[in-house]
A and B are shown apart, each in its own frame.
Chain A
Amino acid sequence: MKRILIADDDRVAAEVLARTLARWEYDVTLARDGAEAWETLRRPDAPSVAILDWMMPQLDGPEVCRRVRAEPSRAHAYLILLTSRDTPADTIAGLDAGADDYLVKPFDPGELLARVRVGTRVVGLQERLAARVEELQAALSHVKQLRGLLPICSYCKCIRSDDNYWEQVDGYIAAHSGAQFTHSICPSCYKKLFAELDQGAEDKSLGGLPT
């Protein structure tokens, strides 16, 4: 959705700008002065791109930029200052106040469109990034993790879980990681086990007397 705010107290200039952008399929909202611009931009459903005239009643363009940047939920908006003020000092002041771009009037319509497109692209990138972060955060909360300092019994190797339950180490690991178990027997236990079995068999054949 290509939505854009135009703020200018000059009704003629605003109309020309709005019409030009509408022709390029932007959904235009108009503000007649800086206060109206700020009120529009601070709302959660505000357009993400705005073209602000510098000299406006109530709040001027740079002041609107400052306020937008100070508002965390709206600070990512792409702000273009459009003005007839053309000295380097003005450019610096405008960009330092928080504008993303600075266009001098009279503007070339093609150049304006190109710069607005940059704004739309940047905002699009940021929105995709924010969505991705949200996805990752949700996924992270579901991820099984084997971490921290685990209380383990030195004898039977049971691990005490968060809810004070001593569980077998294979159960604990399976619950807290993606690992799975395939149960078998290690060589030394095998030796021990068969030694016991052999011993037991011998005892039987000798009349079952325990050693």
Chain B
Amino acid sequence: MSADNGTARDAVSPREHTMGTDEKRSSAQSTLDFDQMRERLGDDEELISDVIRLFLEDYPLRLAAIKSALEARDPERLRAAAHTLKGSASNLSAPGVVAAARALEAIGSSGDLGAAEAGFARLVSEAERLEVALREIQATRS
């Protein structure tokens, strides 16, 4: 992603211009903290690539399991499926997905599925953001 240094941006709003890069970075980190992932995986390049690949293969199945638990109105299945996805995402240091999955896990534990649909929508959107970030990383590594 290129930094905000184009003159066309100045016309939009000066505040937006100066805050832009920092906001982007912190929002990027809330999707994926790559430095932390690297550290957690012991700087093992091969492992990092494999973990990214595995996650991208695996998470759609996790989302499907959560979706099917919601359709079945089964809180226990929801809790279990959300818990697993939370675990995967935390290995990647992906706080956005971790938080959304944790929220769904809590909903499952509580037994009250009222907020589940909204929670799932949030999770899907976080997961999509994460996928974008991961694919960008894959592209720079290959």
Contact = CB atoms under 8 A, between A and B. Distances in A.
Interface of A: 8-13, 15-16, 19-20, 23, 55, 57, 84, 105-106, 109
Given A55-B84, A84-B87, A105-B87, A12 B58 contact: yes
A105 B84 CA distance: 13
B24 interface: no
A33 B69 CA distance: 18
7 contacts: A10-B91, A11-B54, A11-B88, A12-B88, A15-B47, A55-B84, A84-B86
Contacts of A84: 83, 86-87
B58 A16 contact: no
A57 B51 CA distance: 22
A133 B86 CA distance: 47
A112 B126 CA distance: 31
A16 B47 contact: yes
B60 to A, nearest CB: 12
Interface string B28-50: 00000000000011101001001
Given A10-B87, A106-B40, A106-B90, A15 B80 contact: no
A12 B57 CA distance: 10
A83 to B, nearest CB: 10
Interface of B is mostly: helix
Interface in B75-107: 80, 83-84, 86-88, 90-92
A12 B80 contact: no
B74 to A, nearest CB: 13
Contacts of B87: 8, 10, 12-13, 84, 105
Contact of A15 (B54, B83, B86): B54
B88 A109 contact: no
A23 to B, nearest CB: 8
Give the most central of B54, B58, B84, B86: most A CB within 10 Å: B84
A19 B88 contact: no
Given A10-B84, A15-B54, A105-B87, 5 more contacts: A9-B84, A12-B55, A12-B92, A23-B44, A109-B42
Give the most central of A8, A10, A20: most B CB within 10 Å: A10
B82 to A, nearest CB: 10
B40 A55 contact: no
Given A12-B51, A16-B51, A55 B91 contact: no
